[in-house]
Amino acid sequence: MSLGIALWKRPSPYFFSELQLDMRPVDSGSFLLGSPANDPNRSLSEPLISGAYIPDAFWMARTEITRAQWAWAMDLPLPDQPNLPQTDISWADANTFCTILNQRLMRPAGTIFRLPTEAEWMLACLGPHRSYRPYSNSLETVAWTSANGGRIHPVSTLQPNQQGLYDLHGNVWEWCLDGDRYGYRLLKGGAFDSDSASCRASFQAHLKPETCAPNLGFRPILVQEKNN
């Protein structure tokens, strides 16, 4: 399959019908990573704001991986409430899922599924206008948090961000590929039991990679393999 060169110039959505996986394009570009020192919600774990650059476009899953998609990859029976995010997933579990997709799905030449880095996740979250508030009204229009239900919800039941991606804020925390020097891995986005400060695009959570919890999930990206 030789789609790679043309698609990276102006990528289009890509759909894998086998598991109903809708991948949305995220353009390359520059943006600001981290948070300013005077942000009243800034935590000590967040890096100070600085310039970042993603050189190549990529695709990101339109939603968090669902129970149904997880069951497909793991050859399990279709679960109850199949459109809920798959939770209780460790960092290694999420990487295993990506490996299975790479083994079983036909995809554009030279590409690979993996978890996003924090920078890639933030670029997708901020949207094409690089907005730290990438939603039209209040946070409650795009995110399930402690303020509007306090429980997990099916994916894509609120509004998407400007990139066409659902639930990047709230519902479940999302594992990132990278970590810190102590061996912890980063999570982004907040969850159904998070306050608004934890759902900010720049907020970082740090957990041991073996951690599993009912508010932890993930979504993969599809990238040029040379970037791995």
Q: Which of 211, 196, 145 is nearest to 39 (CA)?
A: 196
Whether the predicted pLDDT of 161 surpasses 80: yes
Whether the predicted pLDDT of 10 surpasses 50: yes
pLDDT: which is higher, 83 or 126: 83
pLDDT category, 3, cuts 50, 70, 90?
Answer: very low
Q: Where are the domains of the chain?
A: 4-227
Per-residue pLDDT of 167-214, as tens digits, reads: 999 999 999 999 887 899 999 999 999 998 888 888 999 999 999 999
Q: What is the DSSP string of 97-143?
A: HHHHHHHH---STTEEEEPPPHHHHHHHHHTTTT-SS-SSS-GGGT-
pLDDT category, 133, cuts 50, 70, 90?
Answer: low
One of 3.10.129.10, 3.40.50.2300, 3.90.1150.10, 3.90.1580.10 is the CATH number of 4-227, namely: 3.90.1580.10
- Which pair of tokens denotes residue 109? 């030449």
